[in-house]
Chain A
Amino acid sequence: MKSVGFALRALPRDLRSREMRVLAMALAVAVGALTAVGFFTDRVDQAMGQRATTLIGADLVLESDDPIPDEWVERARSEGLETSGFVTFPTVVVTDAGSELTSVKAVGDAYPLRGEVFLADSAYGEERPAEGVPESGTAWLDPRLFARLEVAVGDRIQVGERELRIAASIAQEPDRSGSLFQLAPRLMFNRADLESTGLISEASRFDDHLLVAGDPGAVERFRGWIEANAPPGLEVQGVENARPEMRAALERARAFLGLAAIMAVVLAGAAVAVAAHSLAAREADASALLRCFGARQRLVLTTLLLRLAVVGLLASGVGIGVGWLAQNGLVTLVGAWFGDALPPPSLRPVGVGLAAGLITLVGFGLVPVLRIRRVPVMRVLQRSTAAPEPSALAALGLAVAALAVLVFYQASDPALARWILLGTLGMLLVLGLAAAGLIRLVGRLRGRAVSGWRFGLANLARRPRTSTVQMVGFGLGLLALLLLAVVRVDVLEAWRNDVPPDAPNQFMVNVQPDDVEAVKGRLRDAGIEPAGFYPMIRGRLRAINDDRVDPQDFSEGRARRLVEREFNLSWAERHRPENEIVAGEWWSSPNGRERPALSVEEGIADVLGIEIGDRLTYNIAGEEVSGEVTNLRRVQWDSFKVNFFVLTTPDMLDGAPATWITSYYAPPESRGAVDALVREFPGVTVLNVEQILEQVRSIIRQGTRAVEYVFVFSLLAGIVVLVAAVQASRDERRVEIALLRTLGASRRRVRSILGAEFVALGALAGLIAASGAAVTGWAVTDRVLNLPYHFNPWLFVLGVGGGGLGIALAGLIATRSLLAERPLAVLRRV
């Protein structure tokens, strides 16, 4: 307990000490970066959850072939949940201009429970939110129907036996994306009018939907009850897998943000290590004195560790505050993703921030500080006795362990985390070796240099260890700055090109096999190049190996829903390079005639527990076909190209009823041609994904800005490393300067000697950093992003020139106060 008193008493002194300040600054920057990103992603996650509910119009949707029993509605209400519902079915609407197959949605009051319907007063007109549902006797129409039926708002249309007045055009329907591929143009009217249309009878086919929303606990209870009592035809839809393309873009944004934060942490860690090293050196006297007065080693050590912990906690606290403020900046930058209504952050990032601060402190600072134990007590009488240097291996080992914990936590992808870790380690090793080598070389060359330089270079070579540590510190700092200044721009540019301006903005589905060539021709005539036509076959998964698939066997909701539903299958001969094979091999034989094989998307394989070599059996149009899984694919869902969960060899689906699907970029001026095409081939449905595409683009656009913003922390951390490295040799330099002055050197002369040393240090560190930045840039663009790498010669100009000048300036500023000290006073103190 004595140590607690000592530690607290030391606090005011610690807050003034240079080493502790550098240490605290480094920690605050690291924690600030991590918590800013943490708070922000936490809020985005919450918003995604909320946003997802608007995508299905409720918290939970039940879809049934039979009318929803009143009992279910009662049950939901008894849980205190809001309910609504709608009925969907296809019907043909006829006007003088022609007839159109439409998808009717007869909606009950309160639809939708989550999200909003947006209307326009004319087709593709200005959007406004709808107030309530269509009034009885009116209908809202898909904008495509206005042209095809040659009608306008205010006209009347015949729907079954009922005449309805067109009240508006539907601009956005929140829960539309759920069943993207089966939709004919929407016709929405009030459920109260349903009976009078006479379209629903015992024999007709329709789907009834129950929408439920409210307290999450109540929703879960209701879901449990319904899943226990549900008939087989019932589909329960939650919010778990809405909008894969938007999720993919957000995931990537998060990975980039995490990387930016990690970079700040690595740099801050280096600063902590250097500062802790200087701190231990500075504390050597006090600790020897304490021991001389009879303090046990343990007391001395615990006191210092407690002091570090107190400073660490305070700094982490400041960092969390900074992180919280900074995330507001992030939210401002990307606010448009979610309107302005991003939910407030939870407290979780606070805990993570504190933990990260302590892990950084312990990981990078503990080993240098432990050396305090070994300070010889005789130091009180004989200053020259010093503690042995800490083991570099132990210091590096612990730092790497700490870094691993943080990196694996921050980068959700273990492969990426390994890559970062190895990259950092390799970089440190190369920096260290290069620095040591250069310092040796400088030592040999110094005899040939002129006066000021000779002293400066001699200084470098005289303290190889300190110089190496400093050069690695400078190198890391400069590397960070170069990466930020030059490489970052290239990488973010590559991300921006991820969804190019001509990314597909329309999907065309339901193209009959005989029409494919004709449709292709019409599209080309309109100046549209489709991104490939793919067959689509609907099938239900029946068995994995010899086990019949029963939805009840899967405990996970997503898995259960996947096997309840029909899959869209496709066949392909050749592998599409944008789909990365993550396990197994693509069928090599050109037409796949060897034996039936399957390629499965890795995510779905994981959910359903499918592995390479498993035999899957599908029911397609009443017939069972099966094949062996030979590979798993990673699909880029945000590429807006047609993709399938399951692909087969061409022969496996031979003869199965297929329709074809394509996606393409249709410039605005070709929309008329597409409309004409749809009229010529009435079965074909065109889906516009322009809106989703724009959303993904805006995520990337604002995401790059957000990443640049987080890089400010890395920049700060880089500067702190530089400061720490300059500071590290301050005490030593103090004596040196005093001696030179005593020997008759003018201040000017001393300044030129120091300047020479710092210029050499900075330029050499810059040389190493520029090489490191060039290699990193190549690795990221060429290896990770698969883009051509352009060597940027400015890296070396900036690195060597900027490094030399910058470090000289920083070093001279940092040692200015030392030059002002009276030499006698300094030498007396020794």
Chain B
Amino acid sequence: MLGPSGSGKSTLLGLLAGLDAPSEGDVALFGQSLSALDEDGRAALRAGRVGFVFQSFQLVPGLSALENVMLPLELADRSNVVATARAALEQVGLGARLRHRPNELSGGEQQRVALARAFAPDPQLLFADEPTGNLDGRTGAAVIERLFELRAERGTTLVLVTHDEAVARRCDRRLRMEDGHLMEAVA
């Protein structure tokens, strides 16, 4: 999903994920109409099936890398939480930094923890909101690389918001948002 700042990309993403309710119209997620559900119902629908990667990483400050990755697994009532979380961190190359807290990690490392956290529960759907927006070019490219690798490995549907045309070109379908209006982008 492409578009200038303030065009409504993040709002659309939030509506798609059921983080907010639309004032008009309906969103269906996994065949389920979101407007038929209350807040908690939408949360239950997301648990373990929807992953998120944010521009500002959004790691819980006091929790270690491992604990941050464990969070969505526990919320989805998975078993082997610790082993799964550790494996996910190893997959993003952070096997040696399990006990580190967010403020002890670099920006790139933090976003990789966020990637591990997003993929660990094997979600069917992953929303990523400008995941490289806070990273320098090289680190950003590495993170994007991991993102697409993981997506390919696990077969997850990825909804990506980005400013980067190069990144957008790697996606199967491109949409452009302008002043709250959505249109098919021409590659």
Q: Interface residues, chain A, CB within 8 Å of chain B?
A: 2, 5-6, 9-10, 12-14, 16-17, 285-286, 289-299, 376-378, 380-383, 828-829
Contact = CB atoms under 8 A, between A and B. Distances in A.
Contact of B74 (A2, A289, A291, A296): A2
14 contacts: A2-B75, A13-B61, A16-B62, A286-B61, A290-B71, A291-B39, A292-B46, A293-B72, A294-B45, A295-B47, A296-B43, A296-B44, A380-B19, A380-B58
A370 to B, nearest CB: 16
A381 B50 contact: no
Contact of B19 (A5, A9, A298, A378): A378
B77 to A, nearest CB: 8
B52 A376 contact: no
Contact of B76 (A289, A294, A378): A294
A289 B43 CA distance: 11
Contacts of B20: 376-378
A294 B56 contact: no
DSSP class of A's interface residues: helix, strand, loop or mixed? helix
Interface string B20-53: 1000000000000000000110011111111010
A583 to B, nearest CB: 59
Nearest to B52: A292
B85 interface: no
A3 to B, nearest CB: 11
A380 B72 CA distance: 15
Residue with the greatest number of chain B CB neighbours at <10 A, chosen from A10, A286, A297, A383: A286
Contacts of B47: 293-295
Given A293-B71, A381-B129, A382-B10, A9 B63 contact: yes
Contacts of A286: 60-61
A2 B71 CA distance: 11
B74 A5 contact: yes
A297 B39 CA distance: 8
Given A13-B63, A293-B47, A297-B39, A381 B10 contact: yes
A382 B19 CA distance: 11
Contacts of B75: 2, 290, 293-295, 299
A388 B140 CA distance: 36
B52 A9 contact: no
A376 B21 CA distance: 11
Nearest to A16: B62
B56 to A, nearest CB: 7
A380 B54 contact: yes
B19 A377 contact: yes
B44 A382 contact: no
A139 B110 CA distance: 94
Contact of A378 (B14, B43, B44, B71): B14
A133 B46 CA distance: 89
A290 B61 CA distance: 13
Given A289-B58, A381-B129, A294 B52 contact: no
Nearest to B54: A380
A9 B68 CA distance: 11
Contacts of B60: 286, 289
The CB with the most chain B CB atoms within 10 A, among A289, A299, A381, A382, is that of A381
The 6 A-B pairs of least Cβ separation, nearest first, read: A294-B47, A13-B62, A377-B19, A294-B46, A293-B72, A381-B10
B15 to A, nearest CB: 9
A828 B71 CA distance: 25
Contacts of B77: 2
Contacts of A298: 40
B161 to A, nearest CB: 9
A381 B56 CA distance: 9
B91 interface: no
**Chain A CB within 10 A, most for which of B19, B45, B76:** B19
Interface in B94-146: 129, 134
B58 A285 contact: yes
A17 B76 CA distance: 28
A12 B10 contact: no
Given A286-B60, A296-B44, A381 B54 contact: yes
B11 A382 contact: yes
A757 B56 CA distance: 32
Contacts of A13: 61-63
A400 to B, nearest CB: 32
Nearest to A14: B62
A297 B43 CA distance: 9
B119 to A, nearest CB: 13
A295 B134 CA distance: 27
B13 interface: yes
B72 A829 contact: no
Contacts of A2: 74-75, 77
Nearest to A295: B75
B17 interface: yes
Contacts of B129: 381
A136 B48 CA distance: 96
A295 B44 CA distance: 7
A294 B63 CA distance: 18
Contacts of B50: 294
A828 B48 CA distance: 30
B72 A294 contact: yes
B67 A9 contact: yes
Nearest to A285: B58
B160 to A, nearest CB: 14
B69 to A, nearest CB: 11
Contacts of A383: 56
A14 B60 CA distance: 12
Nearest to B39: A297
Nearest to B12: A381
Contacts of B134: 828
A2 B67 CA distance: 14
A829 B134 CA distance: 9
Most buried by A among B61, B74, B75: B75
Nearest to A297: B40
A197 B25 CA distance: 114
A275 B101 CA distance: 24
B72 A10 contact: no
B3 to A, nearest CB: 14
Given A292-B46, A295-B75, A829 B67 contact: no
Contacts of B72: 293-294
A10 B71 CA distance: 12
Contacts of A289: 58, 60
A735 to B, nearest CB: 14
Contacts of B19: 292, 376-378, 380-381
A829 B56 contact: yes
B180 to A, nearest CB: 15
A829 B77 CA distance: 31
A297 B54 CA distance: 21
Contacts of B39: 291, 297, 377
A260 B59 CA distance: 45
B58 A10 contact: no
Contacts of A10: 62-63
B27 to A, nearest CB: 14
A398 B100 CA distance: 40
A678 B11 CA distance: 101
Nearest to B161: A381
B62 A296 contact: no
B62 A17 contact: yes
A79 B148 CA distance: 90
A134 B71 CA distance: 83
Q: Could you say which of A294, A295, A298, A378 has the most chain B C-beta atoms within 10 Å of its C-beta?
A: A294
A294 B54 contact: no
A380 B40 CA distance: 17
